[in-house]
A and B are shown apart, each in its own frame.
Chain A
Amino acid sequence: MTLASLERGIRYVIASVDCADPVVQRLMVLGLVEGAEVELASSAIGGDPLEFRMFGNAISLRREHARYFTVRPVDSIG
C-alpha cells in the first residue's frame, strides 16, 4: 500500500520510495525517506491534498505524489 491510502489512527513506516521525480526527491529531503514513521492527520475538502504527521512535523502533499511512497503498518514485520 502507499501513502495515498492510509487509514487514520494507524502508524505506518515508509518501506520504499520511487524517487525518479524531482518533487519526490524534495519530499525526501523534507524527511519522507525509508524508515520514517507517518500517520494520516487530515485531508482537505475532496480528499486532496493530504496531511501527514511524521515525528511531530506536519507535512502536506498531493495524492499524486503520495503514491510514490510504499508503506506498511509499524507493527507488521514484512
Chain B
Amino acid sequence: MAKSSVIGVAVDQIKTRQHPSASIVVVGNPNSGKSTLFNRLTGLRQKTGNYPGVTVERHVGVARAGDISLELVDLPGTFALSAHSLEERIAVDVILGRMPGMARPAGILVVLDATHLYQGLYLTQQLLELGLPVLIALTMTDAAEAEGIRIDLPALEQRLGGVTVCPVVATTGRGLDRLREALGRLAGAAAPDVPEFWPALSAAAGELARDLPDAVTRTEIERALVDGPGELETHVAGLLGADGHRRLDELRARVFRGRPSLAEEARHRYTWVREVMDEVVQRAPVLMSWSSRIIAWLNRPVPGTIGLFVVMAVVFQAVFAWATPMMDAIDAGARALGSLIGAALPEGMLASLLVDGIIAGVGSVVVFLPQILILFLFIIVLEDSGYLARAAYLMDRAMRSVGLSGQSIIPMISSFACAVPGIMATRVIPNRRDRIATILAAPFMTCSARLPVYALLIAAFVPQETAGFFNLQGLVLFGLYMLGIAAGLLTALLLRRTALHGPKPTFALMLPEFRKPNLRTVLIQLWGRARVFLYRAGTVIFSVAVIIWALAYFPQSEEVAGELAAQRDRAAVTLSGEALDLAVQRLENEAAAAQLEQSALGRAGKFIEPLFRPLGWDWKISSAVIAGFPAREVVIAVLGTVYAVGDEADEATLSSRLRNAKWPDGRPVFTLPMVIGLLIFYAFCLQCVATLAVMRRETNSLRWPLFAWAYMTTLGYLGALAAYQLGS
C-alpha cells in the first residue's frame, strides 16, 4: 500500500538525518509488556511501517536517554530464535542483521516478564549469545510481588553474564529513569559473557568458526547446525567450501546423535533455565485472591463458554445502546449546520454542494464514529486483557469441526472491527491451508464498516421494542453478526473439504494471564482507529460525496426548470396564502425529483436498475450500492446525498427519508423483504478494496482475492434475491 511506503521513507529519514548509528532492538516474549514499555520509552515519537516484502508491521520510535536520542525498533514478540511463524522469522532476521535495508542492531533491550521467567530466560539466553551488548528490562515486577515471587537481582545479573537488569513497571513508569540511563550507555558497551549450557554444540560451532570469516557470528553457526536445511545453512555451507554440507552433517551427527535437533536444543536450554530459576527465584505461598478465584471459575469449561457468549452479546448491545445519545448529538449538529448554511447562502449550486453533497454525505458517515469507537474499545480491551487467547482455547473444538483450529478465532474476532488487521492476524497460523481458509472466512465477520449500514437500516425499519431483556433492534443486529459467522464458517468448511483439503490443523497456544488493560495503551490504539476512520471520512468519503452530488446535480434540465416556473405561475392565479405555499412546495419537490431522475446519476442508476430489480431495488439504491464497491460505508454517504436532493423536508433524518421513499406508482421502496434482502447483501458482499489488497499480499496471489470477491458478491446477490422473492 502507498501508505506504508510513505511511512517507510519517513523512518529512513529519521535514521540518516538524526541517528547515523544503528538502532537498538526491543525483543521479548509475546505478552511480556514489551509494547507498553516501548510506548513508555518513545511516547508518541513513533512511526509504523512495514518490513520489505511482508506485511509485518515495523514499529520504530525515538527514546530520550539523558541528552542522547536513540532509535528503538519494537520487534514482534517471539519465544525463541528458531523461527516458527512469519513474525518470528522477521524478528530473527532483524536481530541477526539479515533484514535488507537494516543495519545489524547496536544493542538489544530484552523485555523479561518477571512472572514468566521460564520462557523468558530461554529467549534471553539465546540473545546473550549474539555478541551484542544486552540490557534487560524486568517487567511486571508489581505483579510478581503480588504473586509472592522474589527475584535475587545481583544473582540473576551474574548468571546472565554480567548484563544489567533494570526492574520496571511499564504501566506506572516505575524504574524507567534507571532504564533510560542504562539505555544511554548500551550502544558500544561490551557484549556479555555467554553462559555455557551445551558443551558439545559450542565445541562444534567453535570448530567451524575457525574456517569461517569473522563476520559470521557464533549464533549463525549454531542456528545453521540446529535449524538444518534453509537459507542460513546454505550460506554457512557455501562459506565452508565444497564439502560444507558434508561437514555440517557430520557435526550434527556428533552433537545430536540422531535425535531431533530442536528438541535437543530445548532440553539443554531449559535445563540451564531451571538451574538459574532455582538459584534466583523464591516463591512465597500466597492466598488465592478474589479475582483469581473468579478467573479460575471462568476457566472451567461450561462457565467459560457461557461467559464468552455473554461477553459477545454485551458488546453488541453496548454498540447499539451506549452510542445512541452521542450519535443523536452528531446527527443534530450536522443537520443544524446544514440548515444554517442553507439559510445563509442563496439557493443555487454552491448551497446544494455544501448542504446536499458534503454535509449530508460526510455527516451521514461520521455519525457512526461513536459506535465504531465503542466496538474498537471492546476489541482492544479484550485483546489487551488476554481474553482473546482464552477465546481461542475455548473455541478450538468448535473450530475443529469446520476444519480449522482455535487459532483462527483471534483473526475472526479482530475482523469484527476490521478485516484488514484480522487477515494480518492470521500470520500466527503456521499451516498455509489453514491460514488461507481463515483469510477467506474473515471478511464474512461483520466489520465496523458494515455496522453503519446495518445500523441505518435497522434504526429505520426495525421497531424500537423490547423482547424480554433484549432490545429488538439489538437482536436483529446480533442475528446479522451470527449470519456472518455462519457464512464464514461454512465457507471455511467447504474450502477445507475441497480446494484446501489437507491434514487437520494442530493447536498449541500460550495463554496469557488476565491483566487489567493499560488505559494509556488502550487510548493510544483507540485514537489510532478514530484517526483512520476520520481520515477516510475526510478523503475517500468526502470525494465520493462530492462526485455523487455532482452526478446527481448535473446536467441541470432547462425543461424541468421551465415546467416548474410555468406551473408555479398557474398555481399563483388560483391559490393564495398557506395553500399556495404548500402547492409550491409540492411542485418544487416534483421538479427536484424529475431533475434527479434525468441527471447523470439517475441515468446510470436507471441503466443498471434491471439487474437489481429482482431484488426490489430502485435506481437510487442500485447506484448507491455500485458506488459502494470500493468501500462499503460509502453507500450511506451516497444514500444521504441522493435522498437529500429532491426531498421535501430539510430537517428530516436519512432514516425518515428512506421510510418515505416511493416507487412511481406510490408503493414504498423499503418493504420488509427488500430491507432484509439488502441487509443480507451487505452481510455477504465483499465491498472493500483494502481487504482485497491485504488478501492479495497475505496470500501472495491474485487468485484468492478474486475468488473471494466473486464468491461473496454472488452469495450476497442470491441472498437478497431469495429474501425479496420469497418475502414479497
A residues near B (Cβ < 8 Å) are 17, 19-20, 23-31, 33-36, 41-49, 51, 54-62, 65
B393 and A44: CB pair below 8 A? yes
Residues of B within 8 A of A49 (CB): 393, 396-397, 406, 507
Residues of B within 8 A of A57 (CB): 116, 118-119, 510
Per the CB 8 Å criterion, the residue count for chain B at the interface is 44
Contact pick for B271, options A20, A35, A46, A48, CB 8 Å: A35
Q: Which of B267-324 contact A (CB under 8 A)?
A: 267, 270-271, 274, 277, 296, 299-302, 304-305
8 closest A-B pairs by beta carbon, nearest first, are A55-B118, A28-B266, A58-B511, A19-B263, A42-B299, A45-B301, A25-B262, A60-B393
How far, in whole Å, are A11 and B302 apart by their CA atoms in the complex? 24
B406 and A31: CB pair below 8 A? no
B116 and A34: CB pair below 8 A? no
Instruction: Check if B508 is an interface residue, CB within 8 A of chain A.
Output: yes
In the complex formed, the residue of B with least CB distance to A43 is: B301
How far, in whole Å, are A70 and B3 apart by their CA atoms in the complex? 51
Per-residue A-contact encoding for B55-73, CB less than 8 Å = 1, 0 else? 0000000000000000000
In the complex formed, the residue of A with least CB distance to B389 is: A60
User: Which of B116, B117, B508 neighbours the largest number of chain A CB atoms within 10 Å of its CB?
Assistant: B508
A29-B80 contact, Cβ under 8 Å, with A36-B270, A43-B301, A44-B304: yes
How far, in whole Å, are A33 and B300 apart by their CA atoms in the complex? 26
In the complex formed, the residue of B with least CB distance to A41 is: B299
A-B pairs under 8 A by CB, number: 120
A60-B508 contact, Cβ under 8 Å, with A44-B305, A45-B301, A48-B397: yes
Q: What are 16 A-B residue pairs whose CB atoms fall within 8 Å in the complex?
A: A20-B260, A24-B263, A25-B262, A25-B266, A28-B267, A29-B262, A30-B79, A30-B510, A36-B274, A43-B301, A44-B305, A44-B395, A55-B277, A57-B119, A58-B511, A61-B509
Residues of A within 8 A of B181 (CB): none
Residues of A within 8 A of B395 (CB): 44
A61-B508 contact, Cβ under 8 Å, with A31-B118, A42-B304, A45-B394: yes
Instruction: Check if B147 is an interface residue, CB within 8 A of chain A.
Output: yes
Instruction: Check if B259 is an interface residue, CB within 8 A of chain A.
Output: yes
- B296 nearest CB across to chain A (Å): 8
Q: Which of B506-535 contact A (CB under 8 A)?
A: 506-513
Instruction: Check if B115 is an interface residue, CB within 8 A of chain A.
Output: yes
Instruction: Check if B4 is an interface residue, CB within 8 A of chain A.
Output: no
A29 and B266: CB pair below 8 A? yes
- A12 nearest CB across to chain B (Å): 15
How far, in whole Å, are A65 and B507 apart by their CA atoms in the complex? 9
A28 and B509: CB pair below 8 A? no
Q: Which of B382-412 contact A (CB under 8 A)?
A: 393-397, 406
B117 and A55: CB pair below 8 A? yes
- B633 nearest CB across to chain A (Å): 36
